[in-house]
Amino acid sequence: MSASKSDMSLDEFRAWAGRVGIALTEEDIVELHKGYLGMMKLAARIPQDWAWEAEAAHVFAPPGGGRR
């Protein structure tokens, strides 16, 4: 498998997706691969040293409005 999940080839993705147990067509696999690569590129842009504590409390409030 690739050194990084963000550069996973279509063949590697096909093998990885095959373990899920869902019947996928070739078209499904190609579209899911495109989406996976796009998601990984977006995730790579999230700063690792984000100052979460500096965000407004309502941004990261748990569902239902409870307090942390």
Q: What is the DSSP string of 20-40?
A: T-----HHHHHHHHHHHHHHH
Query: Are 36 and 2 within 8 A, CB to CB?
Result: no
Q: What percent of the chain has pLDDT over 70?
A: 69
CB atoms within 10 A of CB 13: 20
The dihedrals phi and psi of 23, each to the nearest 5 degrees, come to -70, 110
The Cα–Cα gap between 57 and 16 comes to 38
**35-58 pLDDT, tens digit each:** 999 999 998 888 888 776 776 666
| Number of residues written out for the chain | 68
Give residue 67's pLDDT.
57
Domain segments of the chain as ranges: 1-45
pTM for the structure as a whole: 0.60
